Amino acid sequence: MKRKYLILFSLSGLVLTFDQLTKYLVLARTDLGAPQAIIPGFLNLVLAKNNGFAFGFLRQAPQSLQGIFFIAVPVFALILIILIFIKLRDDQMLSSIALTTILGGAIGNLIDRVQYGYVVDFLDFHLGDSHLPPFNVADLSIILGVLLMFVSTLTQKETGGEVNA
Q: For the chain, what is the mean pLDDT?
A: 87
Catalytic pick among 19, 112, 121, 124 = 121
Q: Find all residues with CB under 8 Å of 113, minimum gap 6, and list them.
A: 70, 71, 74, 119
- For residue 34, tell me if it sits in a domain: no
Question: pLDDT (tens digit, 9 = 90+) per residue, 38-80?
Answer: 999 899 999 999 887 655 566 666 666 666 777 888 899 899 9
* Separation of alpha carbons 46 and 61, rounded Å: 24
> Given a cut of 90, is residue 147 above it in pLDDT?
yes
- How far, CA to CA in Å, does 127 sit from each of 42, 55, 135? 5, 17, 16
Active site residue 139: yes
- For residue 164, tell me if it sits in a domain: no
How many domains does the chain fold into? 1
What's the average model confidence in pLDDT over 108-115? 93
Catalytic pick among 19, 112, 124, 139 = 139
Residue span of the structural domain in which 137 resides: 3-29+39-154
Q: Find all residues with CB under 8 Å of 105, minimum gap 6, and list them.
A: 15, 19, 137, 138, 139, 140, 141, 142, 145
- For residue 103, tell me if it sits in a domain: yes
- For residue 161, tell me if it sits in a domain: no
**Which parts of the chain fold into alpha helices (H)?**
3-29, 63-87, 93-116, 137-154
Rg (CA), the chain: 17
- For residue 162, tell me if it sits in a domain: no
- For residue 18, tell me if it sits in a domain: yes
pLDDT tier, 165 (very low <50, low <70, confident <90, very high otherwise): very low
- For residue 72, tell me if it sits in a domain: yes
pLDDT tier, 162 (very low <50, low <70, confident <90, very high otherwise): low
Active site residue 121: yes
* Separation of alpha carbons 141 and 16, rounded Å: 9
What's the average model confidence in pLDDT over 111-134? 90
What's the average model confidence in pLDDT over 108-126? 93
